[in-house]
Amino acid sequence: MSFDNFVYNIKRENPEILTDVRRVLSSGECFSPERTMSLSQIRAGYKKLTDWEFPNMVDPRTELCFLLSEPYIAGFANKQGTFRFYIVPHAEK
C-alpha cells in the first residue's frame, strides 16, 4: 500500500485525528522548537483528549511522516534520536 493510501485510510477511519493532534500540541503550548512533544506524549495526549488509542502505525517513522503530512506541524530528532513535534505559527489569510 502506498503512503498516500495509508494516510487516506487513517484519516477516513479517524476523521478528526489531525485536528486532535493539533489540539494536543496546542494544549502543551508547542509553538516553537524550544517547546515540543515526543510521539509518546502525543499518543498519551490523544488518548486523554479522545479516550481512543492513537492509531497503531507499526513504525515510528510512519507516524513521523503521517504527522508531517499536516501543514504547519514540524518535527526534528534530538541528539538522542527522539522525534519532537511542534506547530509552526502562520498568518491567517
According to the model, what pLDDT value does residue 6 have? 86
Per-residue pLDDT of the chain (93 residues; tens, 9 = 90+): 688 888 899 999 999 999 999 999 999 999 999 999 999 999 999 999 999 999 888 888 888 899 998 899 999 999 998 999 999 987 665
Q: What is the pLDDT of residue 47?
A: 96
For residue 91, what pLDDT is reported? 61
pLDDT of residue 60: 83
Asked if 25 and 73 count as a contact pair (C-beta separation under 8 A), the reply is yes
Q: How far is CA 18 from CA 69, 71, 90, 91, in A?
A: 10, 10, 17, 19
**pLDDT of 92:** 66
Architecture of the domain spanning 3-87 = 2-Layer Sandwich (3.30)
